[in-house]
Structure 1
Amino acid sequence: MSNVTVIGLGIMGLPMAINLVKAGHSVTGFNRSQDKIDALIAEGGQGATSIADAVKEADVVITMVPDSPDVEGVVSGPEGLFANAKQGTLWIDASSIRPDVAKRLADDAKAAGIRALDAPVSGGEQGAITAALSIMVGGEAAAFEAAQDVLNAVGKTIVHVGPAGSGQTVKAANQLIVAVNIQVLGEAVAFLEAYGVDTDAALKVLGGGLAGSKVLDQKGQKMLDRDFTPGFRLALHHKDMGIVTSAAREANVSLPLGALAAQLVAATVNQGDGGLDHSGLFKQTLQLSGRK
């Protein structure tokens, strides 16, 4: 088993680190808040006092942080991953960042003697807890093969989708699909409620037909209950939709539904709801309909 370091012990990173411990790896965690490190230690992991300390003995380093600048901050500089990890260390970035940044950082990693994979995940908090994440991986095939034991400890559907940056491109497409699905699910729920339909029964039958989806299964009840406890925060989906729209513009691809969904997500975040689960996009639909 490997010495694995996980940097970023948030909603996704902590359960991923715990699953790596359960799989038999020696896991060291680093996070800006000590309570998250303590939670990992309680599950059999170890803690580090800095990024440099966390990566110095690692065979594999996983980063799970919010955005492109955060990843750059972890890997760069005299205290960063590139300057302190062993030659040949495998770096797996599970964050969701811009594809062009992922490609550039992979090149920087190679120059530093570090093998890099961009491996963003889908499945939300529950997928991280149950080790059932879908992982889309970009990078060299040899590095992907070397990462199998670690990736299999945290995910279920693990696919090599192409060279560096490809994983982030596929994740952007994933976030586009999810945002549009959440929006239209919210519209359907508002429509059903307006007509006084038994919404529990309605979602059950819809889920069994062509309208069924993982979004409906995981987010429908949250909308009915008005329970937007975050599994994946709207603020992060807002960031991801910015990645989608920017990358689409660069590729001259028109995303009419995606652009509208991005604006609705932005409006919800701008109204102070960025800390809610992304199913909280439903609040915007209710407001537009004059409903609660």
Structure 2
Amino acid sequence: MKVGFIGLGNVGGKLSGSLLRNGINLSVYDLNEALVAQVAKRGATAAEGPAQLMETCDVVITCLPSPASSDQVMQQMLPEIGPGKIWMEMSTTDEAEVKRLGAMVEQAGGTAVDSPVSGGCHRADTGNISIFAGCDRETFDRIAPLLKTMGRRILHTGPIGSASVLKVITNYLATANLLTCCEALVTAKAAGMDLNTAYEAIKISSGTSFVHETESQVILNGSRDISFTMDLVSKDIGLFQAVADRHNVPLEINPLMIKIFKDGEERFGSRELSPNIIKRLEEATGLDITAPGFPPEMTDDEPEEPGYEVVPTGRETAFN
């Protein structure tokens, strides 16, 4: 199976690396020629553009920063889509938009999948990230080997669009976790607590979370580097808000989070690292929320393992 990959940024570059590391016949494209050159040095073929990738590959994966970017790429690929061609959208995108683009692919005779990832760039780098996949069961079975190469825990979520809904839900929860961790750490410092001890207290308690055990560490280091920026957080929680609005869910917490991150972007810049949202509270209190002994960035110390399909709790078999 020949695979094309478009979008070699923080996540896409690592996912494509997992494909290469495991012997997949891979061609790549990105507007940043330096990123293409880096991946080509590791064995990938550099492509001229999206149209050529769709023409020459069985599967083309997109991992792009916005729905608008995905649409621009799709317009270039569409003339080359036909029977047997598969488009996998691994970007975090809007449910309605991935359905719209997917319908265009299917009308041209191809097959569309939304397959966003979750778990952080450090796990994308090792092939241990989680992947959601929205598509029919037959297509899922066809692409499962690729999904299990790029990720460890693979969840078939139902029809196209379902994976994107669940992805923005999980990103909403991660953002809420980040903001509450920031408030907890600043309050601990203000109350005179040792921050190393506070980190461990939260970690071993009912208050812990994936975000605390990862992002709180780089916050306390001071680097705040998780390879994710404030504008991307704003995009993701905005997509979550759009899902809720379409279904008339009167959210209360998410609108406040949107306001907080808008303020963060205005103060520190849209490309500021997202954990630096804590700077709003550091500036308000005059406190420095750092502590010794924490890493500047997250690394995945689990060995790379073959991926497997996760069966939802309460179901005897996977989604059909």
| Band of TM-score, shorter chain | over 0.9
Q: Which residue of 2 aligns with 1:61?
A: 60
Where do 4+ consecutive residues of structure 1 move more than 6 Å?
none
Partners of 1:60 and 1:89 within 8 A in 2: yes
CA distance in structure 2 between the partners assigned to 1:249 and 1:85 by the alignment: 33
- Report how many aligned residue pairs link the two structures: 288
Counterpart residue identity of residue 128, structure 1: A
Structure 1 residues 118-129: aligned runs within 5 Å: 118-129=114-125
- CA distance in structure 1 between the aligned counterparts of 2:170 and 2:183, rounded to whole angstroms: 20
In the alignment, residue 29 of structure 2 is paired with which amino acid? F
> Could you say which residue in structure 2 is the equivalent of 1:52?
51
Question: Whole-Å Cα distance in 2 between the matches of residues 86 and 278 of structure 1?
Answer: 40
Contact 1:58/1:86 (8 A) holds in 2: no
Q: 1:112 is matched with which residue? A: 108
Please give the secondary structure, in 1, of the residue aligned with 2:152. strand
Which secondary structure state, in structure 2, belongs to the residue aligned with residue 116 of structure 1? strand
Paired with 2:229 and 2:45, the residues of 1 have a C-alpha distance of 27
1:275 alignment partner, SS class: coil
Structure-2 residue corresponding to 1:98: 94
Say yes or no: does 1:177 pair with 2:176.
no
**Alignment partners' CA distance in 2, 1:123 and 1:276:** 20
Which structure 2 segments of 5+ residues have no match?
Answer: 289-320
Deviations 1:153-182 (A, max 9, x none): 111111111111111100110111011100
Q: Percent identity?
A: 25
1:81-230 → structure 2 map (5 Å cutoff)? 81-230=77-226
Decide which of 227, 245, 248 is 2:244's aligned counterpart.
248
Query: Secondary structure of 1:56's partner?
Result: helix
Tell me which residue corresponds to 1:24: 23
Contact 2:215 2:226 (C-alpha < 8 Å) held by counterparts: no
Contact 2:225 2:275 in 1 (8 A): no
**Cα distance, 1:86 vs structure 2:** 4.9
Higher RCO structure (Cα 8 Å, ≥6 apart): 2
What residue number does 2:311 align with?
none
SS at match of 2:56: coil
Tell me if the contact between 1:124 and 1:232 (Cα under 8 Å) persists in the aligned partners. Answer: no
Q: Deviations over 1:230-288 (max 9, x none)?
A: 42222111111111112211211122112211211121112233223321221223234
Shift of 1:201: 2.0
Equivalent position of 1:232 in the other structure:
228
Distance 2:196 2:82 in 1: 54
Gaps of 5+ in 1: none
TM-superposition CA deviations, 1:56-115 (whole Å, max 9, x none): 211111100011111111111xxx222124531111100011110111111111001111
Contact 1:133/1:155 (CA < 8 Å) preserved in 2? yes
1:279 matches 2:275 = yes
Q: Residue 75 of structure 1 contacts residue 82 of structure 1 at CA under 8 Å; is this kept in 2?
A: yes
- Structure-1-length-normalised TM-score: 0.94
The SS at the match of 1:87 is coil
SS where residue 95 of structure 1 aligns?
A: coil
